A and B are shown apart, each in its own frame.
Chain A
């Protein structure tokens, strides 16, 4: 048994790590890019931000043309939540809190 089991565990770990790497590398790229300045992104190719900066976050949180996007999303989401509430009210629901949670989650998907 142990003889046969050992390679399977190894193989599954390899598959799992490869898959997770495939998922995470694009996200990693997006995240480190958010910490780079525009000139660093365009002029040099670095795997890690050379001049770490939070300027991009500062811009997107203080410039109205950026942060109004979040505000609009929240307005939309709140209205959507209220409207989808009526869908839920019409259904006979057994466990209320589970359903409540699920529609809050569904309404909060910013798409």
Chain B
């Protein structure tokens, strides 16, 4: 059979190529360009090779931010996932109460990030905020603008407040999809509430839980707005996470070269973690099908 070669079809791809070029490829390549060049103002750039990468990997600053970032993501996962499961298990199963709970729980998810930061900034202030005032009246010294530990507590409370509902809603969806037969079988076996959770509900929630963990990890790894609104990364550098540090470097100090190198490495780290998570999820899915 003879194949007809018709290359005209390539023209159909042009609109997409142009759009993608402007929306991702060109901006991305600009960053790549910056990361290999230095400039002394004006528009003169010269090639420095891997100098920025070497300098960054040897300096402490990005590593500190990376450490804080990992710690933050780890803590919020440690709080949000169990709390989300607990809330999902406690939610009413059906009826009016379930709808009310769903709506109220979705509220924080709908609030713009900036407003979340503002809410907690006001809420935690000792002079005008309820939380700060109550803690101060209880004799607990609490000041998130001065004390690094308090700033961390506030940022974590803020993230838990903002995103636990997402985990809970995903788990709730997973719970609702468990067929009733499982519960009936458990009842016949006189299974305790704990073993129902352990052997039926948790394994059945595994898929959605993986998604929830992945989403929460990626989102918290890229967190910017909320801590920025709260303290601007302070006190000192206590809550300067990776993206805040990046913006400080790129727009505060205008060190375009190092900032570009930083952002590319940041991007690669996220890509790597996503890949790992994706692989784990796919394997978990296959296992589930195989069982």
A interface residue numbers (CB < 8 A to B): 1, 4, 8, 11-13, 15-16, 19-20, 22-27, 29-30, 33, 41-42, 45, 47, 83, 86, 90, 109-111
Contact = CB atoms under 8 A, between A and B. Distances in A.
Interface of B: 16, 19, 23, 83, 86-87, 89-92, 101, 104-105, 107-108, 110-115, 118-120, 122-123, 127-131, 133, 161, 164-165, 187, 193, 225
Nearest to A15: B90
Contact of B107 (A8, A27, A90): A27
B165 A25 contact: no
B242 to A, nearest CB: 19
B130 A25 contact: yes
A109 B116 CA distance: 14
State the majority secondary structure of interface residues on A: helix
Given A12-B89, A12-B90, A45-B128, A23 B123 contact: no
State the majority secondary structure of interface residues on B: helix
A109 B130 CA distance: 28
Given A16-B101, A20-B105, A29 B91 contact: no
Contacts of B129: 29
B24 to A, nearest CB: 12
Nearest to B97: A16
B122 A33 contact: yes
A11 B164 CA distance: 19
A26 B123 contact: yes
Contact of B108 (A12, A23, A83, A110): A23
B128 to A, nearest CB: 5
A24 B123 CA distance: 12
Given A30-B118, A41-B128, A42-B127, 5 more contacts: A23-B107, A27-B111, A30-B119, A30-B123, A111-B225
Contacts of B111: 27
A24 B104 contact: yes
B161 A45 contact: no
